[in-house]
A and B are shown apart, each in its own frame.
Chain A
Amino acid sequence: MKNQLIKIPTILFLSILLVLFYLLVIDRDPSKLPSNLLNKNAPEFVADSLLDNEKFLSKKELNNNITIVNFFATWCAPCREEHVYIKRFSSEKKIKVIGINYKDNPEKAIIWLKKLGNPYSNIAIDKKGKIAIDWGVYGIPETFLINSSGIIKYRHAGQITKKIYKKFNLLIKEIN
C-alpha cells in the first residue's frame, strides 16, 4: 500500500508536465473558442461606470438593442489595434457598443480613449476581473454580440481583424 502511495507524486508531476508540453507544442488559437454562454442570457452585473458617476447596470444597458460588449484595457496591445473596428461598429453601423475596462487604471483608460476616440456608449469598470470571470473571458480583447433580448449570440476571443469585423456584420444582419 505504502509503496503504491509514494509513486503518486511522480505520476502526478509527470502527467502535469505532459499536459504543459502538449499545450506548448499544439497550435493554440485563442480565437477558436466556443462559449458555454452561447444562446444564453448575458450574465448580469452592477459596476462603477468609467464615464459618469452613476452605477453601470447591465440590466439597463443590455436591453432592447443589439449590443456589442467589448472587454479591453489600455495595457493590452491588440485592444489598441482592434480599436478602429470597434469605432466602426458605432460610427458606421450605428451599433450600440458597451466597453468593459478590464483590470485597468481608469485614468489611463480615459486618456487612452481621448487619444483614440471613444466608441462606447457606456463603460463598466471591472477592476478585479470579476465580470470577466462571470462572462467566461479568457484573455482580452474579447468581444460578445448580444441580441435585443439580452442573449449572447456570438463570442470572439482575441483581436477583431477585418475578417472578424465582416463576420460580426453578417451576424448582426442575421439577428436583426
Chain B
Amino acid sequence: MVVTLGNLTLWLSFFFSIFQFYNSQKKNNLKLISIAVKGLLISSLLSFLILVYLHVVSDFSVLNVFENSHTTKPFLYKVSGVWGNHEGSMLLWIIVLTIFNYFIYKLYNNKNLVFISKTLSVQSFIILGFIIFTILTSNPFEKIFPVPANGLGFNPILQDPALAIHPPLLYIGYVGLSAAFSLSVATLNSNAKQEIPWFIYMKPFVMAAWTFLTIGIALGSLWAYYELGWGGWWFWDPVENASFMPWLLATALLHSLIVVEKRKSLQAWVLLLSILAFLLSVVGTFLVRSGILTSVHTFALDPSRGIYILAFTALLGGYSLILFASKSKFYFNNNFFAFFSKEGAILVNNIIMTIVCATVFLGTIYPLLIEAFTNNKISVGEPYYNSTVIPIILPAILVMGVGPILSWGKENKFLLLKKILPSILMTVLMTIFFLSIYRSYTFVGVLGVLLAFWIISNNLYLFYIKRIYHSVGMVTAHLGVGFLILGITSSSVLQEEKIIRMNIDHNVEINKYNIVFKRISEVKGPNYIAIQGNFEIYDKKNNIITKLKPQNRFYPITNNFTSEASIHTNLFRDLYIVLGEGNQNDGWVVRIYYNPLVAWIWIGAFTIFLGGILSMRDNFKKVKKIS
C-alpha cells in the first residue's frame, strides 16, 4: 500500500515536470507554472519521505530496504541509509533539484517573466531527465517476493554521523550548480540587448552551491580521517575528485561573478564556467555510478545506468555548449585589466582554479583514455596530484592573500606596498614564532606556513581597519582558507607516525608524549561487538593528559570488521591511536599518529562555510533590490 503510494508520487513528479516543461515554453502561463513547480516540490518530497518511512519501519518487502537495512540498525542510520545507496540517493538528488526549482520560481517579477520561464524550462528538463533515470533504472520502490525476514544490513563503515549528513550537503552543492546552468542557458537563449541582470540571479545559487560543497567535502574528509584509520584525510580517490572539480570551478565562478557585477567584464567566461561546473558534477556522478572507474565508493553496478547518464550528459552538454558557441559572441567584452587590481587578482584566481580543475580531470580520466586508445591499463594516484596540483595552486594562494586589499581599476603600487606592509610584518613574525615551536624547516612546509599566515594576517588586518565595503562574509571565508592551509601544511609535513607491537603495561614515546597500554577489554555496542584497547597518555612531567580507547569492531550481520581510531584533539595537535591485531602473549599492533594542527583543517572549512552563509545573506538582499 505505502509502496504503491511511493511509486505513485514518483510518477506524479514525472508528470509535474513535463507539465512545467510544457507550460514554461509559453508566455503568460504563470498560474499553471506555479501549480507545476509546487506540485513537483510536494510530490518529490512525498516520495522521498515515503522511502524514509519504509526504511524506518524496516519494510523488507521493498528490495531497497532489504538490501540496505536491518532491524537492529540504530534509528539515525536507518534514515541516513536511505541515501547511502544508489536508488535512494537519486530520490534525494531529485528533491534537492525541485527545491532549487522552487527558488528559481521565486525570482519571478513583472520585468523578468520571459527570462525566468526560460530558466524554469531548462531546470524542468534536467529534473525530468533524472526522474526518468530513476524510474527506468533505479526505482527505489521495487518489491521483492517472498518477503525476507530481515535485511542484509548496511556497511558499518558508513554508519557514522558525519557521513549521515555528508551526501545531502554535497547534493545541495551539485544541484545548486544546476540552477546556475539553467540560468546560463536561459541567458544565452535571450536577447543580449535586454540586459537582464542574470549574474545577480546567479550569484546566490552559486554561493549556496559552493558553501555547501565546501562543508560537504570537509565532512567527507573528516570522516575519512577518523574512520579509515590512516591518519590521513584526503586520498585523491575518483569520488573525491568528482566533488573537488565542481568545487574548483564554483570557486572560479563565484569570483568572476563579482567582476561581472562590478565591471561588466568576463560575461562569456562566466556563462561557460557555469555550464561546465554543472556538467562536471554530472560527469562525476557518471564516473562513480557506472562502475567505469574503481573506487572505494562502490555502488551496485548496472551498465544500463552508465549508458543512460552518459546519453543525458551528452544531450545537456551538447545543447548548452553548442548554444554557447553560437551565442556567446554577444557577451564578449574587450576590457583590459591592470595586473595590480582586484579584477586582475580575480583573473589570476580564475585561470589557476581552471588549470587545477583540468589537471585533476586529466588525472581522473587519464587511465580511461589510455585504455581506450592503447589498451594499456595504468592508475594515477596521489604522487601525480601532489606533484602537479600543489605547485599550480601556490601562486593562487599568494594572490588570494592580497586580492581583497587591492582596489578596482588600477592600484598605485606605492600605496599597495603601504597597505600590505603591516601584514608582511605580521606574517614574518607569525612564521618565526611557528618555526620556533615546531622546528621543522622543509621547503614546502615553510612555504605553506608562510602563505597560510599571509592570508590570515591580511584578513585580520581587514577586520581590524573595518572597511565596510568589504563584505564580512568574504573576509571570513578567506580567513578560513588561511586556517585550512595552515592545517593542511602542518598535518602533512609535520606528522609523526609509529607502528609498533605493544604488550600490556608497555609504553612508547611519540613527540613529547608517553603512551602507556593499560589493558584490553571487551565492549558490546548496539549492532557490534568490539575489543577495546585502553591507553593512558602522559606528558613530559608525567601528568595524565587523557585516556584513549581505540576499538576493533565486528558487525555480525554484514560480517564486517572495522577499526575505530581514538583521537584526542586540541588546537595544537591530534593524538591518534588505532588498535590492530594481537593477543595476550605477543601483544597488539598499535598505530600512533601525532598530527599537528590538524583541527585547523576542520576549523578552516567551517569558517569558510560560515563566510559563505554570511555572503548568501548579502546576495539575497541584492536580488530583492532589483525586483
Q: Does B300 contact A (CB under 8 A)?
A: no
CB neighbours of A24 from chain B (8 A): 290, 292, 303, 306-307, 310
CB neighbours of B328 from chain A (8 A): 6
CB neighbours of B307 from chain A (8 A): 21, 24-25
In the complex, the answer to whether B324 meets A6 with C-beta atoms within 8 Å is: yes
Within 225-252 of B, Cβ neighbours of A (below 8 Å) are at 228-230
| Cα–Cα, bound, A107→B328 (Å) | 57
Which of A62-70, A88-96, A133-141 sits within the interface? A133-141
CB neighbours of B276 from chain A (8 A): 9
| Cα–Cα, bound, A3→B327 (Å) | 10
CB neighbours of A21 from chain B (8 A): 307, 310, 314
Smallest Cβ-Cβ distance to A30: which chain B residue: B377
Q: Does B313 contact A (CB under 8 A)?
A: yes
Given A2-B329, A10-B321, A10-B322, residue A139 in contact with residue B376 (CB < 8 A)? no
| Cα–Cα, bound, A75→B297 (Å) | 12
Which of B42-50, B114-122, B401-409, B573-581 sits within the interface? B573-581
In the complex, the answer to whether B317 meets A14 with C-beta atoms within 8 Å is: yes
CB neighbours of A10 from chain B (8 A): 317-318, 321-322, 324-325
Q: Does B424 contact A (CB under 8 A)?
A: no
Q: Does A162 contact B (CB under 8 A)?
A: no
In the complex, the answer to whether B382 meets A9 with C-beta atoms within 8 Å is: no
CB neighbours of B332 from chain A (8 A): 2
Smallest Cβ-Cβ distance to B332: which chain A residue: A2
CB neighbours of B318 from chain A (8 A): 10, 13-14
Given A2-B329, A10-B325, A14-B314, residue A107 in contact with residue B368 (CB < 8 A)? no
| Cα–Cα, bound, A75→B296 (Å) | 9
In the complex, the answer to whether B561 meets A110 with C-beta atoms within 8 Å is: no
Q: How far is the CB of B537 from chain A (nearest CB, A)?
A: 21
| Cα–Cα, bound, A103→B230 (Å) | 10
Q: Does A163 contact B (CB under 8 A)?
A: no
| Cα–Cα, bound, A20→B287 (Å) | 9
Chain A interface secondary structure, helix, strand, loop or mixed?
helix
In the complex, the answer to whether A23 meets B324 with C-beta atoms within 8 Å is: no
Central interface residue in A10, A110, A132, A136, by most chain B CB within 10 Å? A10
Q: Does B383 contact A (CB under 8 A)?
A: yes
Partner of A19, one of B294, B306, B372, B500: B372
Partner of A7, one of B313, B325, B377, B382: B325
Smallest Cβ-Cβ distance to B373: which chain A residue: A19
In the complex, the answer to whether A16 meets B381 with C-beta atoms within 8 Å is: no
Smallest Cβ-Cβ distance to B581: which chain A residue: A110
In the complex, the answer to whether B563 meets A108 with C-beta atoms within 8 Å is: yes
Q: Does A57 contact B (CB under 8 A)?
A: no
Q: How far is the CB of B465 from chain A (nearest CB, A)?
A: 42
In the complex, the answer to whether A34 meets B381 with C-beta atoms within 8 Å is: no
Q: Does B570 contact A (CB under 8 A)?
A: no
Q: Does B445 contact A (CB under 8 A)?
A: no
| Cα–Cα, bound, A91→B460 (Å) | 67
Within 62-100 of A, Cβ neighbours of B (below 8 Å) are at 75
| Cα–Cα, bound, A22→B193 (Å) | 42
| Cα–Cα, bound, A16→B365 (Å) | 9
Partner of B317, one of A17, A22, A33, A106: A17
In the complex, the answer to whether B290 meets A132 with C-beta atoms within 8 Å is: no
Q: Does A60 contact B (CB under 8 A)?
A: no
What is the 8 Å Cβ interface bit string for chain A, positions 132-157, against chain B (1 contact, 0 not)?
11001111000000000000000001
Q: Does A171 contact B (CB under 8 A)?
A: no
In the complex, the answer to whether B313 meets A128 with C-beta atoms within 8 Å is: no
CB neighbours of A14 from chain B (8 A): 314, 317-318, 321
| Cα–Cα, bound, A10→B365 (Å) | 17
Interface residue count for A (Cβ, 8 Å)?
43
Given A24-B290, A130-B381, residue A107 in contact with residue B563 (CB < 8 A)? yes
In the complex, the answer to whether B368 meets A138 with C-beta atoms within 8 Å is: no
In the complex, the answer to whether B581 meets A111 with C-beta atoms within 8 Å is: yes
Smallest Cβ-Cβ distance to B304: which chain A residue: A24
| Cα–Cα, bound, A53→B501 (Å) | 9
Q: How far is the CB of A102 from chain B (nearest CB, A)?
A: 10
Smallest Cβ-Cβ distance to A127: which chain B residue: B230
Smallest Cβ-Cβ distance to A138: which chain B residue: B377
Partner of A23, one of B372, B382, B561, B581: B372
CB neighbours of A157 from chain B (8 A): 377
Partner of B321, one of A2, A9, A23, A138: A9
| Cα–Cα, bound, A36→B591 (Å) | 37
Given A24-B292, A106-B499, residue A128 in contact with residue B381 (CB < 8 A)? yes
Partner of B369, one of A19, A33, A110, A139: A19
Partner of B368, one of A19, A127, A128: A19
Given A33-B377, A110-B581, residue A9 in contact with residue B272 (CB < 8 A)? yes
In the complex, the answer to whether A3 meets B329 with C-beta atoms within 8 Å is: yes
Q: How far is the CB of A99 from chain B (nearest CB, A)?
A: 16
Q: Which residues of B contact A (CB under 8 A)?
A: 228-230, 268, 272, 276, 279, 286, 290, 292, 294, 296, 303, 306-307, 310, 313-314, 317-318, 321-322, 324-325, 328-329, 332, 365, 367-369, 371-372, 375-383, 499-501, 552, 561, 563, 578-581, 589, 591
The 10 closest A-B pairs by CB, nearest first: A107-B580, A138-B377, A10-B321, A110-B581, A107-B581, A129-B381, A19-B372, A6-B325, A7-B325, A17-B314
| 7 pairs, A vs B, C-beta closer than 8 Å | A6-B268, A6-B324, A16-B365, A24-B310, A107-B581, A108-B563, A136-B376
* A-B contacts besides A20-B292, A139-B379, 17 pairs, CB < 8 Å: A3-B325, A3-B329, A9-B321, A13-B321, A14-B314, A17-B314, A19-B368, A19-B372, A20-B286, A21-B310, A24-B292, A33-B377, A128-B382, A128-B383, A133-B379, A138-B377, A138-B378
